């Protein structure tokens, strides 16, 4: 039995970001955070980007009123207050579980402190909510000593209540979030991180915070876009099916085509919204052009792009081609330590003079703004993890 005097539970965890290949956009239920379509994502390693969260739960006396919603007092560092309600929902979900610790704690008043740090460049729009909510759920699991009791699948259902895409950061590798109608809306792991040696390069072109949050944006799109209705009824399931087929066959050519098309379709739906939403900018368009040029030079796709609700590009490739992709973008984006002849040699493409012209034409058409700010490389990584110290 828990002593009625103060008692403290502490847990720490680390959460990764994930990048969607088939996008989640549009909720079936705003409260339950269930999506209109399944989505598929890559969980990225935590070498550079991650959230670390420490949760301290303190029971401070009996909850005499027995009003569930009011027994939690939250102190949050490093998290905006607009997500307080969602964080409370996560705690309430834990307290409603059928385990002794949860039942006992739900009869107490609780003081909860959340201390969170993340390592992302400021406001880079890089899936910070997914990594922070996944870290939070694991930290609570650890604090309540439920880590050997709750399955990862159960944890995906709880993470979803913090931010839809967070459920995909519980597992590593390649994950799918299955729509469901409520408690059965969960994420599964399709493949482990070592299944296919895929790399991801994030090109940061903009560090400004986006004007319209994802939650708000997807609501507007669902309410106003005819194209979005078409996406849900006729496009997205076809993309899911085809992506799974290409994953099974490890067919990068079709894999990347579907990733690109789903990103394009998602952003077209944003544009089709009323009022129109645009998460992309001139630099994003230019990076798309670069990817099409690179793939054309090879006569097949060796690189895919995808953009989330922001203008920063995620490039996806097989790591066996990483050097080519690194050097191609180095050459394009003004890093002067590579020249065109070295690049062409590395690329091992035919039709040298013609292709040199193509690449230089592309380089010349770069948008006339400050150079690309930063590039960060990832491999596929593990899901959110408890930190024991
Ligand atoms: C995704 N995005 O699948 C899509 C693609 C952005 C574009 O999930 O309201 O922060 O918390 O469920 O998860 C961003 O939306 O939205 C997102 P909520 P979330 O990754």
Pocket test for ligand 1, best of 262, 307, 308, 313 (most atoms within 8 A of CB): 308
Q: What is the pTM of this model?
A: 0.94
Res 65 pLDDT > 70: no
Q: Give the pLDDT score at 339.
A: 85
Ligand 1 atom, smallest distance to 25 CA: 4
Q: Is 107 exposed, middle or buried (0-12, 13-18, 19+ CB in 10 A)?
A: middle
pLDDT for the residue 173: 98
According to the model, what pLDDT value does residue 2 have? 45
Instruction: Give yes or no for residue 338 having a pLDDT over 70.
Output: yes
pLDDT of residue 71: 66
**Ligand 1 atom with minimal separation from the 166 CA:** 13
* Higher per-residue confidence, 6 vs 142: 142
Centre of ligand 1 to C-alpha 220, Å, is 14
Q: How many angstroms separate the alpha carbon of residue 358 from the centre of ligand 1?
A: 36
Which residue's entry shows tokens 């992506």?
Answer: 243
Q: Is pLDDT of 64 > 80?
A: no
Q: How far is the CA of 166 from the centre of ligand 1 (A)?
A: 8
**Which residues make beta-bridge pairs with 379?**
199
**141 pLDDT higher than 90:** yes
| 153 CA → ligand 1 middle, Å | 19
Ligand 1 is surrounded, with C-beta below 6 A, by: 20, 23-25, 33, 39, 129, 163-165, 214-215, 308-309
Q: What is the pLDDT of residue 1?
A: 46
**Is pLDDT above 50 for 50?**
yes
Predicted local confidence at residue 108, as pLDDT = 86
User: For ligand 1, what atom is nearest to the CA of residue 22?
Assistant: 3
Phi-psi category of residue 78: left, alpha or beta, with phi > 0 → left and psi -120 to 50 → alpha: left
Cα 31 to averaged position of ligand 1 atoms, centre (Å): 15
What is the per-residue pLDDT across 151-187, written as a single tens digit (0 to 9) for each? 999 999 999 999 999 999 999 999 999 999 888 999 9
Strands 7-15, 34-35: pairing is unpaired
Render pLDDT for 243-289 as a digit per residue (tens, 0 to 9): 999 999 999 999 999 999 999 999 999 999 999 999 999 999 999 99
Half-sphere exposure of 232 (CA within 13 A, CB side): 17
Instruction: Please answer whether residues 327 and 338 qualify as being in contact, where contact means their C-beta atoms are separated by less than 8 angstroms.
Output: yes
How many A from CA of 361 to the centre of ligand 1? Answer: 36
**Residue 295: pLDDT over 70:** yes
Residues of the chain with pLDDT > 70, as a percent, come to: 90
pLDDT score at 261: 98
Residue 105 structure tokens: 């704690």
Range in 96-105, 115-124, 148-157 with the lowest mean pLDDT: 115-124
Mean pLDDT of all residues belonging to the chain:
90
The whole-number pLDDT of residue 214 equals 92
Q: Bigger pLDDT: 106 or 217?
A: 217
């Amino acid at each position: 039995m828990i002593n009625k005097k103060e008692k403290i539970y502490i847990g720490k965890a680390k959460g990764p970001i994930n990048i969607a290949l088939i996008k989640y956009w549009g909720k079936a239920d705003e409260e339950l955070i269930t999506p209109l379509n399944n989505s598929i994502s890559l969980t990225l390693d935590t070498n550079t980007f991650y959230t670390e969260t420490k949760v301290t739960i303190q029971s401070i006396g009996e909850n005499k009123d027995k009003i569930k919603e009011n027994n939690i007092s939250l102190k949050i560092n490093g998290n905006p207050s607009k997500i307080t309600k969602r964080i409370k929902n996560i705690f309430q979900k834990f307290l409603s579980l059928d385990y002794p610790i949860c039942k006992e704690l739900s009869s107490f008043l609780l003081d909860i402190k959340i201390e969170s740090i993340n390592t992302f460049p400021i406001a880079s729009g890089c899936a910070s909510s997914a990594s922070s909510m996944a870290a939070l759920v694991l930290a609570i699991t650890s604090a309540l000593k439920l880590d050997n009791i709750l399955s990862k699948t159960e944890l995906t259902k709880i993470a979803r209540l913090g931010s839809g895409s967070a459920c995909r950061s519980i597992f590593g590798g390649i994950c799918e979030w299955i729509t469901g109608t409520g408690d059965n809306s969960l994420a599964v792991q399709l493949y482990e991180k070592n299944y296919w040696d895929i790399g991801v390069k994030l090109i940061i072109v903009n560090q400004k915070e986006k004007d319209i949050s994802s939650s708000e944006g997807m609501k507007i799109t669902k309410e106003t876009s005819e194209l979005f209705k078409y996406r849900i009824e006729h496009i997205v399931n076809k993309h899911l099916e085809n992506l799974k087929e290409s994953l099974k066959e490890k067919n990068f050519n079709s894999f990347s085509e579907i990733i690109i098309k789903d990103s394009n379709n998602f952003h077209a739906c944003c544009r089709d919204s009323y009022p129109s939403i645009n998460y992309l900018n001139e630099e994003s368009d230019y990076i798309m052009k670069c990817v099409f040029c690179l793939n054309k030079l090879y006569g097949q796709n060796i690189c895919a792009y995808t953009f989330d609700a922001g203008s920063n590009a995620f490039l996806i490739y097989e790591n066996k081609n990483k050097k080519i992709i690194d050097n191609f973008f180095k050459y394009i984006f003004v890093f002067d330590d590579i020249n065109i002849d070295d690049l062409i040699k590395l690329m091992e493409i035919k039709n040298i003079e013609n292709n040199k012209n193509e690449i230089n034409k592309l380089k010349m058409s770069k948008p006339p703004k400050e150079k690309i700010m930063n590039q960060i490389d990832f491999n596929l990584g593990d899901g959110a993890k408890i930190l024991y110290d």
